[in-house]
Chains A and B, each alone.
Chain A
Amino acid sequence: MIRVFAVCGMGLGTSAILKTRLKAALDASGVDYMLDVTDASAARGQQADLIFTSAELAEGLKGSPAKIVIIKNFMDREEINEKVKEAIEELQ
Chain B
Amino acid sequence: MTAESDSSSEFVIPISYGSSEITQTGKWGFQKPDTVFKTAPCQEACPTGINIAQFLYLANEGMYGEALLAILKESPFPGVCGRVCFHPCELNCNRTQYDESVSIHAMERYVSDATSNQTIKFVPLPSGESRRVAIIGAGPAGLSCAYFLSLLGHRVSVFEARKEPGGVMRWGIPGYRLPKSILKREIRRILSLPIELRTGIEVGKAVSFYELGAFDAVFVSPGAQIGVPISIPGEKLDQVWKGREFLDRINSKVKVKLGKETIVIGGGNTAMDVARSALRLGSRVTVAYRRTRNEMPAIQDEIEEAEVEGIQLKYLIQPVKVNFLKTKRLAVKFQCMKLSSLDQGGRPKAIPIKGKFITLETDHLIAAVGEQVDLSWLPLELTKNGLIEKNPSPKIFAGGDAVDQARTIVTAIGGGKRAAISIDSFFRGHDDHAVLSKIRTGDKGSLSMETYLRGREKEDWPEAREVVPYEEINTLFFEPSRRIRMRKRNRDKVLKGFSEVNLGYNAKEAKFSASRCFSCGTCNYCYNCYYFCPEGVISLDPAQWRKEVDFDHCKGCGTCAKACPRSVVEMREYP
Same complex for A and B? Answer no
Contact surface of B with A, Cβ cutoff 8 Å: none
Contact surface of A with B, Cβ cutoff 8 Å: none
